[in-house]
């Protein structure tokens, strides 16, 4: 069964932020249309991060076609993925008051059909506050990742786990959902220190908050092994950026956890 064959019904209102920057050539509008035509109770908020190509026009076409299910937030200048996600989440909280908010990579390396099983985790366990997709190559799952990125990712994940003292497998997968709580706005209120590993910084902000309230974050995060994830050509992240990312992790640890 393919993504276009599946009807999606969401028991909780969910808004998923999709940051976009110069995606005109690789935005798979057919897959977005297939999802939006079958989704019930879900909203996609596309954030155009000051694109200089035709991205905004393509997003506006989706908005007009799926008014109510697809919306567009156009930022005046390019601020990077971290800021686009942050602005998108804050806009979603103000405009739509969802029960669940999250973000998803525009390249659809993680298919949109994965929103449903991630959301199901939140719906069946009230103690879980956030669900993250995890790229784990298991039998029966279709995970394709270039070898270099995989091994660099494993080294980076080990460093993050050590820095945060949290046994997390995959911080950088661009598929994440959060249960909306009073503190959600607080987590996204300030600009991120890091443009590269803001996912780690989100976790660090939650850790900081939970520690002050003497709660355990480990039981509030669920990593969901994705059924499908395929590396898409044209990523704006390059292997050399991992070295910048390591330095950012140290900055994040010093700022929030020491």
pLDDT tens across 18-30, in order?
999 999 999 999 9
What is the maximum span of the chain, computed from C-alpha positions, in angstroms? Answer: 49
Looking at the DSSP bridge assignments, the partners of residue 135 are: none
- pLDDT tens, residue by residue, 199-256: 999 999 999 999 999 999 999 999 999 999 999 876 666 667 778 899 999 999 999 9
Query: Domain boundaries in the chain?
Result: 11-257
Task: Give the separation between CA 93 and CA 27, rounded to whole angstroms.
Answer: 25
How many residues would you count in the chain?
258
Asked if residue 207 lies in contact with residue 167, where contact means CB atoms within 8 angstroms, the answer is no
Low-confidence winner among 151-160, 183-192, 219-228 (lowest mean pLDDT)? 151-160
Q: Which CATH superfamily is domain 11-257 in?
A: Spore Coat Polysaccharide Biosynthesis Protein SpsA; Chain A (3.90.550.10)
| pLDDT at residue 209 in the model | 95
E strands, 108-189, are: 130-134, 142-144, 175-179
Q: What are phi and psi of 225, to 5 degrees?
A: -65, 115
């Amino acid at each position: 069964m393919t993504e276009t064959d599946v009807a999606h019904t969401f028991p909780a209102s969910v808004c998923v932020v999709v940051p976009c920057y110069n995606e005109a050539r690789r935005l798979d509008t057919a897959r977005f249309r297939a999802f939006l035509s079958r989704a019930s109770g879900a909203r996609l908020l596309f954030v155009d991060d000051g694109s200089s190509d035709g991205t905004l026009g393509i997003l506006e076409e989706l908005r007009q076609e799926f008014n109510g299910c697809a919306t567009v937030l156009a930022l005046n200048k390019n601020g990077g993925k971290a800021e686009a996600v942050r602005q998108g989440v804050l806009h979603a909280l103000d405009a739509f008051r969802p029960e669940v908010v999250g973000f998803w990579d525009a390249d659809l390396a993680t298919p949109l059909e994965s929103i449903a099983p991630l959301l199901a985790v939140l719906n069946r366990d009230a103690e879980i506050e956030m669900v993250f997709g995890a790229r784990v190559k298991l039998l029966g799952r279709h995970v394709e990742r270039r070898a270099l990125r995989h091994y660099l990712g494993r080294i980076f994940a080990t460093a993050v786990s050590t820095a945060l003292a949290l046994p997390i497998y995959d911080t950088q997968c661009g598929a994440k959902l959060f249960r909306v709580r009073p503190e959600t706005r607080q987590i996204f209120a300030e600009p991120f220190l890091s443009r590269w590993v803001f996912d780690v910084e989100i976790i660090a902000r939650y850790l900081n908050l939970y520690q002050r309230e003497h709660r355990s974050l480990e039981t509030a995060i669920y990593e969901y092994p994705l059924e499908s994830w395929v590396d898409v050509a044209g990523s704006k992240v390059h292997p050399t950026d991992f070295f910048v990312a390591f330095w950012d992790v140290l900055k994040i640890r010093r700022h929030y956890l020491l």
